[in-house]
Amino acid sequence: MTTVPQLRKSALALPEAEEGRHFGMVAFSVRGRGFASVTKDGRVQLHLPLEETDAALAAHPAGERLVRRGAPIGFRVPLADIDGKDLNALVRAAWFSRAPKRLAAALAAAEAGAGGPGDDLPAGIGRPATQALRGAGVTTLEQVAQHSRAELLALHGVGPKAVRVLSEALEQRGLALRGRMTPDGRCRGPSAA
């Protein structure tokens, strides 16, 4: 069983996802294109391609096809009838189906490059933070050091723990977040924090 806060966390962890309202429903969009919403009676609606809708219907008998003007546009299921792991996968698929091609390709490429040459983000920051940073084009500690604490925390998926782990990893390299002091006493510039 999942809840609206879990849906919110899943949706907002994706690049450029925004929360708003659509016909009185909590809704999530990417660059103005809606990919998920919650009806007043607690059903999540997801814009999905036809084959992913068919797979979702097969996996979740309580679900139904989402149709607009006679054309299938996705999948609808009561939040209470879906587990968190399945919800995350469906929200992600909905985001990919609605995100602009370049943005979706950038996230896919960043994820494909996970653990690639030059990628030295510490594993201890967690998967959501790693995905958020990679989605923003940040794959090395040197690139992390170009940002302030506030800028990092503004990325959906990056929380205080991730910033602490990143700060510790930077310190081990003699670096610091922008606006922080390096171990040798130099300031990294004005802080936005």
Q: Convert the pLDDT of each residue in 132-152 to its tens digit.
A: 888 788 888 999 999 999 999
Q: Convert the pLDDT of each residue in 27-41 to its tens digit.
A: 999 999 999 999 999
Q: Convert the pLDDT of each residue in 72-91 to its tens digit.
A: 999 999 999 999 899 999 99
Instruction: Give the closest residue to 98 by CA, choosing from 42, 185, 178, 22.
Output: 22
Instruction: Return the number of other C-beta atoms located less than 10 Å from residue 159's C-beta.
Output: 16
Does residue 124 have a pLDDT over 70? yes
CA distance 35 to 70: 19
Provide the pLDDT for residue 193: 40
Determine phi and psi for 33, rounding to 5 degrees. -110, 115
136: which 2 tokens?
Answer: 């923003």
Tell me, rounded to whole angstroms, the distance of Cα 146 from its chain centroid: 21
Q: Convert the pLDDT of each residue in 61-77 to its tens digit.
A: 999 999 999 999 999 99
Q: Convert the pLDDT of each residue in 148-177 to its tens digit.
A: 999 999 888 899 999 999 999 999 999 999
Binned at pLDDT 50, 70 and 90, residue 192 comes out as very low
Does residue 184 have a pLDDT over 70? no
